[in-house]
Amino acid sequence: MITGLAGPEGESVAANPEAVGTVPADEHDPFEAFLWADGAAGERSPYPRWRELRREGPIVAVHPRDVFPLHANVSTASLPEDFRIHLVLGHSAALEVLRDGERFSSSLYAATIGLVMGRTILQMDEPEHGRFRALLQQAFTRRALARWDTLVIRPTVARLVESVGRRGRAELVREIAWPFPIEVIAEMLGLPKDDRARFHRWAIELISIAGDFPRAANAAKALAECFAPLLAARRKARGADLISELAHATLDGDGLADEDIFSFLRLLLPAGAETTFRSLGNLLLGLLTHPDQLEAVRRDRSLVDRAIEEALRWETPLTRIARLCREATVVEGVPIPAGGPVVVVLGAANRDEARWERPDEFDVMRPPHPHVSFAFGPHRCLGMQLARMEMRAALNALLDLPGLRLDPAAEDVHVAGDIFRSPRRLPVVFEPVASDSP
């Protein structure tokens, strides 16, 4: 097994999945708890460490404790001294591993995030993965996304930006980047408005499995209990929401079972929100700390998409994903044994000097090259176009705030985290905008 997710007392979650207690309502802040668990207060950046490792080659065999900080979602205490994982650090090597589901399996996620989310496409291999993905993809067609953009995405971010516009200052992480994508997902799913605060909390608690497994497991259970009546109603009477699309999706006459849908929705809530929240924060920080580029994009909105792709490459929101080598093989001259864990470090691959000049710099004017921030191959992120659409809408709305700039009083604003990376705060100032509301 590639990693053992640490439970409350440091034991492996995978070894103790029944350790689910009753989590009472409290003042627990899931945002701060998750950032702390992922090392937001620890190492500033893993990139120098990855750059040094990549000098040894595009793939290196290492003991996990030598490359994963103690605060990361990885438990290494019980691993033998001769245990090794293969870190994929080069871009071309990453593409080879990610595109080849025959040699490199995703099944290991069943023993980690699958413990709380249920069986999702994250842990499926072919042909099961292809069938489920084809069913789920029906809810993310180009036509469907265009509809969500008009009805949900742009109105939601417009409302959030208007709510801070009259003040002339804002904290963009907490007030925009954090609530925006979860409100979009909630609206797309047709979740009751009165329940959205709870859904928001459960979504982030769900992916805090490493730091608090009982809380994550209870969040998973609570979400299924809330989804059940909504799904039952949509099966009887189709609506205009995403749950309805999933309830009635068919492929060769077969549809999705209730538990299949619950598992996907558990994945969609945090994944859809988490990737966009972090990607948007990284994009905004990149521009705000490079005022000349911010002004260029403000004046020429055709650069918005280039800025989005550069931000995704420069600061990858999810820095690594895992695979299990099915059979002894060789990748770029490096032998990998059967059953060997493989970690594709997306963040390192996106800063490979063999593919990008000055890879550590944020530069929206650089010649665009495809990155691997949304992975690659059969498991490429299903919601990547939704994430791009949300980032585009949010950036355009914020660029309309006159004089938007980083608060001159802000101190040490930076990206942090290990597996997940984004800024904790982004204080900005701008010229107050009169509201159009009565």
pLDDT per position as a tens digit, 203-239 = 778 876 666 788 888 888 988 998 999 999 999 999 9
Among 60, 122, 120, which residue's Cα sits nearest to residue 340?
60
pLDDT at site 138: 86
pLDDT at site 23: 37
Residue 41: is its pLDDT beyond 70? no
Kindly state which CATH superfamily the domain 32-402+416-424 is placed in: Cytochrome P450 (1.10.630.10)
CA 112 from centre of chain: 16
- The CA distances from residue 164 to 51, 147, 252, 309, 430, in Å, are 40, 26, 49, 27, 10
- The CA distances from residue 411 to 361, 408, 425, in Å, are 21, 8, 10
- Whole-number Å distance between alpha carbons of 5 and 110: 12
pLDDT at site 160: 96
Which of the four pLDDT bands, split at 50, 70 and 90, describes residue 417?
A: confident
pLDDT at site 36: 55
pLDDT at site 38: 53
Which of 119-128, 252-261, 308-317 has the highest average model confidence (pLDDT)? 308-317
- The CA distances from residue 373 to 308, 313, 321, 351, 423, in Å, are 11, 6, 10, 11, 17
Which of the four pLDDT bands, split at 50, 70 and 90, describes residue 31?
A: low
- Whole-number Å distance between alpha carbons of 171 and 426: 5
- Whole-number Å distance between alpha carbons of 188 and 156: 11
Residues in Cβ contact with 159 at an 8 Å cutoff, skipping those fewer than 6 apart: none
- Whole-number Å distance between alpha carbons of 264 and 246: 9
Give me the mean pLDDT over the 381-407 stretch.
Answer: 96
User: Residue 123 in contact with residue 399, Cβ under 8 Å?
Assistant: no
User: Residue 389 in contact with residue 149, Cβ under 8 Å?
Assistant: yes
Which of the four pLDDT bands, split at 50, 70 and 90, describes residue 370?
A: very high
Taking the domains of the chain in order of start, what are their residue ranges? 32-402+416-424
Residue 27: is its pLDDT beyond 70? no
Phi/psi for 225 (5° steps) reads -65, -35
Residue 37: is its pLDDT beyond 70? no
Cα(first)–Cα(last) distance of the chain, in Å? Answer: 59
% of the chain surpassing 70 pLDDT? 86
Q: What is the mean pLDDT of the chain?
A: 86
- The CA distances from residue 34 to 216, 381, 424, in Å, are 11, 22, 11
Q: Which two tokens stand for residue 86?
A: 């293969």
Q: What is the pLDDT of residues 327-339, one digit of tens each?
A: 999 999 999 999 9
3-state DSSP: the chain helix, strand, coil percent, rounded to 5? 50, 10, 40
Which of 48-62, 132-146, 184-198 has the highest average model confidence (pLDDT)? 48-62
Q: What is the pLDDT of residues 236-293, one digit of tens each?
A: 999 989 999 999 998 888 899 999 999 998 888 777 777 899 999 999 999 999 999 9
In what helix (H) or strand (E) does residue 344 lie, and over which residues does it extend? strand 341-345
